Structure 1
Amino acid sequence: MTDRQLALRAWESLFRAQHELFAEMSADFEDAAITQAEYDVLLTVVRAPEMSTRLREITTNMLISQPSVSRLIDRMVARGLVTKAVDPEDGRGAVITATDAGASAFRRIATVHGRSIAERMSRLDDDELRALHALTEKLRSH
């Protein structure tokens, strides 16, 4: 049986590390053309085939509610970062596609943000990074 106190300490440490790293990396977006939330949407969209994916895929990858994702997407459409169309396979859903402007804005910040992530994660060596990845995947598996 798992030691309850150890589990609580490990959880708190993981939570605080994630929170502190996230706060540090939010500086990457201070002067960027897109917000961190828009980056998260574009991360899913730009990586998809033909830079197009279903809204439900974006919602699955986001840490905010479905209505919040929908409002964010609508703002991104208004800003010209993505387009939104009826899903031809499911008329109730939507397909989101990155525009050239959205993909370009994403790539610019992705370079900066990627360096920032690598720099902060360099506190760990490659074996530790592999172990961290394996452990977090294990925690996420059902």
Structure 2
Amino acid sequence: MSDRRLAVEAWESLFRAQHEIFERFAGDFARGPLHQGEYDVLLTVTRAPDHTTRLRDITSNLLISQPSVSRLVDRMVARGLVTKCPDPNDGRGSLVTATEKGARAFREVAIEHGRHIAERMSVLSNDELEQLTALTKKLRGA
């Protein structure tokens, strides 16, 4: 078993790094066509085949509750960023599809946001990035 003090110190460092980096990236969404939550929804949707995924898959990728995701998606439907329809394979579920407007807005924000992420992460070598990815996956799977 690992040292408790060291474990707490590592956790606090990880948490503070995530928080500080997230704060710096908030500007990517302040003046763009998408809010952070909308970007996160479209990230999941545009990565899916035919830009369509189940609402529950979006919920599992976001760090907010299912009712909050549903309200967010409904607002995005009203803005013309996505469509939502019943899932023919799951009577209780819904399918969410990115519209052309939504996909275009996502690409616009993703270019700048991706550049900012790459710049911020450039303090790490490729080996360190691979190590960080492996460690965070290990933590998520624990």
- Mapped pair 1:21 → 2:24: no
Q: What percentage of aligned pairs have identical amino acids?
A: 66
The residue that corresponds to 1:101 in the other structure is 101
User: 1: CA distance between counterparts of 2:86 and 2:130?
Assistant: 40
Cα deviation per residue 1:78-114 (whole Å; 9 max; x = unaligned)?
Answer: 0000000000001110000000000000000000000
The residue that corresponds to 1:42 in the other structure is 42
Number of positions where the alignment pairs a residue of Structure 1 with one of Structure 2 = 142
Tell me by how many angstroms 1:2 deviates.
Answer: 1.0
Give runs of ≥4 in structure 1 deviating > 3 Å.
none
Specify every segment of 5 or more residues in structure 1 that has no aligned partner in the other structure, as ranges.
none
Specify every segment of 5 or more residues in structure 2 that has no aligned partner in the other structure, as ranges.
none
User: 2: CA distance between counterparts of 1:121 and 1:65?
Assistant: 29
**TM (normalized to structure 1)?**
0.99
User: 1: CA distance between counterparts of 2:141 and 2:46?
Assistant: 25
RMSD: 0.5
The residue that corresponds to 2:74 in the other structure is 74
- Mapped pair 1:32 → 2:52: no
The residue that corresponds to 2:121 in the other structure is 121
**TM (normalized to structure 2)?**
0.99
